[in-house]
Amino acid sequence: MTTPPPQTTTTHVRPNYILIWGYLFILTVIEVAAAFFSHIPKHWLILILVVLAVVKALMVAMYFMHLKFERWRLRIIFLVPLPLAAILVTAVIMEKIF
Amino acid sequence: MQTSAMTDAMRPPFPAESGSGVYSNKLGMWVFLASDVMFFTALIGSYIILRFGMTEPWAKPGAVLNVPLTGVNTFLLICSSVSMVKAYAAIADGKKYFLRKVAGKTLQDGGLKFWLLITIICGAAFVGVQVFEYIKLVGHGFTPTGYREGSVLAEHALADPVKYGAGVAGMYGSTFFTMTGFHGFHVTCGVISMLYLYFTKVLPEKYSPQDYRGIEVIGLYWHFVDLVWIILFTIVYLI
C-alpha cells in the first residue's frame, strides 16, 4: 500500500464548533418554548418553527458537514435532490387538490 | 513543528482525486446522502400531505408524545454531532490519544479516541431513549394502527377527541412510527459503524493527519442523521 502524498489542497480556518453547538441549543430551547408556552396564532407558529428548524439544519450542514468550505460541485450533489423533493411533494398535493 | 495557524486550519483528510475534486469515499457518501434526502422527503412529504389534507384534527403537540424527553434526546444528538466534529478536528491535528494533560489548563485535552467514544455513547443513548419512548407509548396504547382498544389513550381520546385526534389516530400512529423508526434505524446503523471503526481503526491508531477518510465519511453520515432529526423533531413533536 502506498503512502498518500502530502496535503496540497487549500486550507480554511476551522469554525468554532462549541459556539455552533450553543446556537443550536438556544434555538432548540426557543422552539420548544414557542410551541408550548407562547400564544402565537397556529399558522404563524408553524412558520416560525419551520424557519427555526431550517436555520438549525443549515447550521449543521454548513459548519459540521463543512459544506460552507466545500467546492460547488459537491454542494450541488446535496442541493439537487431538494428541488426534486419539492416537485415530488407539490405533485402529490396537486393530485390531492384536483 | 505545527504552528497555531496550522492547528486551527481545516485540511481535507486525503488528497483529492482528479475529476471529482474529492476522494472517492467522500463522493460516494455525498451521493448516498443525496439519495437519503429523497428517501426522507418521501416520508416527510407524505406526512405533511396526510396531516394537512385531513379534515379531522391531528392530536395536539404533547398530548400523546413525551416532548420534554424527546427534547433531551434532541440535545443528546446535537451533542453527539459536536463531539463527532471534535473527533474530526482532533485527528486532523494528529491527536490520536484519549485524554492528555495540557500545561496550565485544568481540563485535559481530548483526542480522537475520547471524542469518538463520546459520540458513540450519545448515539447509543439516543437509540436507548427512543426505545424507552416506544415501550412507554405502546404501553399507553399508542400503536402504529392507532389507539389500542381499552387502553389509557383510547379512553382519553373518547373523552377529548379533538385533543387526541381520535378520528385520525391510525394515520397518526403509522406516520409517527414510520418516520421516527426509519430515523432510529439510521442512528443505529451509525452507532454500529462507529463502533466498528473504533475497534478496528481508532484504537489500533491506524488514522493519521495524512489519512483519516473514515472519520470524515462517517462524520458526514452522522451529521446528516442529526440534520434529519432536527426537521423531524419540529414537524412531528412540536407542530
Measured between beta carbons, the chain B residues lying within 8 angstroms of A73 are 20-21
pLDDT at site B5: 44
A21 and A59 inside one domain: yes
Interface mutation vs chain B, best among A3, A52, A60, most B CBs within 10 Å: A60
Q: Domain of A88?
A: 71-98
- To the nearest 10°, report the CA torsion of B135, B69, B49, B183: -70
**Residue B72: enclosing H or E segment and its boundaries?**
helix B67-92
Shortest distance between the Cα of A88 and any Cα of chain B, in A, equals: 8
A58 and A78 inside one domain: no
Instruction: Output the CA torsion sign for B148, B153, B156, B157.
Output: negative
**Residue B174 CB-half CA count within 13 A:** 9
A26 and A59 inside one domain: yes
Would A7 be classed as within a structural domain? no
Per the CB < 8 Å rule, is A64 touching B81? yes
Measure the N-to-C terminal CA separation of chain A; round to a whole number of Å. Answer: 61
Would A4 be classed as within a structural domain? no
Q: Mean per-residue pLDDT for B218-223?
A: 97
**Which residue in the set B34, B75, B227 is minimally distant from A57, CB to CB?**
B227
The domains of chain B are located at 16-238
Q: Please, are residues B121 and B83 in contact by the beta-carbon 8 Å criterion?
A: no
A19 and A56 inside one domain: yes
Q: Which tens digit of pLDDT belongs to each residue from B115-133?
A: 999 999 999 999 999 999 9
Average pLDDT, rounded, for chain B: 91
**Which residue in the set B210, B230, B234 is minimally distant from A4, CB to CB?**
B210
Would A8 be classed as within a structural domain? no
Would A2 be classed as within a structural domain? no
| Distance separating alpha carbons of residues A28 and A49, to the nearest angstrom | 10
Q: Please, are residues B80 and B126 in contact by the beta-carbon 8 Å criterion?
A: yes
Question: Which parts of B54-168 fold into alpha helices (H)?
Answer: 67-92, 112-140, 152-159
Would A31 be classed as within a structural domain? yes
Q: Model-level pTM?
A: 0.89
Give ∠ CA B44-B49-B51 in degrees, rounded to 5.
90
A59 and A25 inside one domain: yes
Q: Helices (H) and strands (E) in chain A — how many of each? A: 4, 1
Residue A78 has pLDDT above 50, yes or no: yes
Nearest chain A residue to B40, by CA: A85
Q: Which tens digit of pLDDT belongs to each residue from B21-72?
A: 788 899 999 999 999 998 998 899 889 888 888 888 899 988 999 999 999 9
Q: Mean per-residue pLDDT for B109-113?
A: 92
Shortest distance between the Cα of A46 and any Cα of chain B, in A, equals: 6
Out of A13-27, A54-68, B100-114, B151-165, pick the least confident: B100-114
pLDDT at site B18: 64
Instruction: Output the CA torsion sign for B194, B32, B85, B100.
Output: positive
Would A96 be classed as within a structural domain? yes
Specify which residues B109 forms β-bridges with: B100
**Which residue in the set A71, A89, A96 is minimally distant from B21, CB to CB?**
A71
| Confidence at A7, pLDDT banded by 50, 70, 90 | very low
A19 and A61 inside one domain: yes
Would A79 be classed as within a structural domain? yes
Residues of chain B above pLDDT 90, percent: 76
Place of cell 416506544: B134
Would A1 be classed as within a structural domain? no
Residue A56 has pLDDT above 90, yes or no: yes
Q: Please, are residues B169 and B178 in contact by the beta-carbon 8 Å criterion?
A: no
A81 and A56 inside one domain: no
pLDDT at site B1: 42
| Confidence at A3, pLDDT banded by 50, 70, 90 | very low
Out of A16-20, B6-10, B149-153, pick the least confident: B6-10
A43 and A57 inside one domain: yes
Nearest to A15 by CA among A71, A67, A64, A72: A64
Examine the predicted complex and report whether its ipTM is higher than 0.90: no
A77 and A58 inside one domain: no
Burial of B150 (0-12, 13-18, 19+ CB in 10 A): exposed
Out of A28-42, A83-97, B50-64, B219-233, pick the least confident: A83-97
A42 and A76 inside one domain: no
pLDDT at site B9: 58
Q: Which tens digit of pLDDT belongs to each residue from B159-194?
A: 999 999 999 999 999 999 999 999 999 999 999 999
**Which residue in the set B12, B75, B220 is minimally distant from A7, CB to CB?**
B12
Residue A6 has pLDDT above 80, yes or no: no
Residue A97 has pLDDT above 90, yes or no: no
pLDDT at site A17: 94
| Distance separating alpha carbons of residues B187 and B208, to the nearest angstrom | 26
Q: Which CATH architecture has domain B16-238?
A: Up-down Bundle (1.20)
Nearest chain A residue to B21, by CA: A71
Average pLDDT, rounded, for chain A: 84
Domains: count for chain A = 2
pLDDT at site B122: 97
Which amino acid does the sequence have at B190?
G
Per the CB < 8 Å rule, is A31 touching B210? no
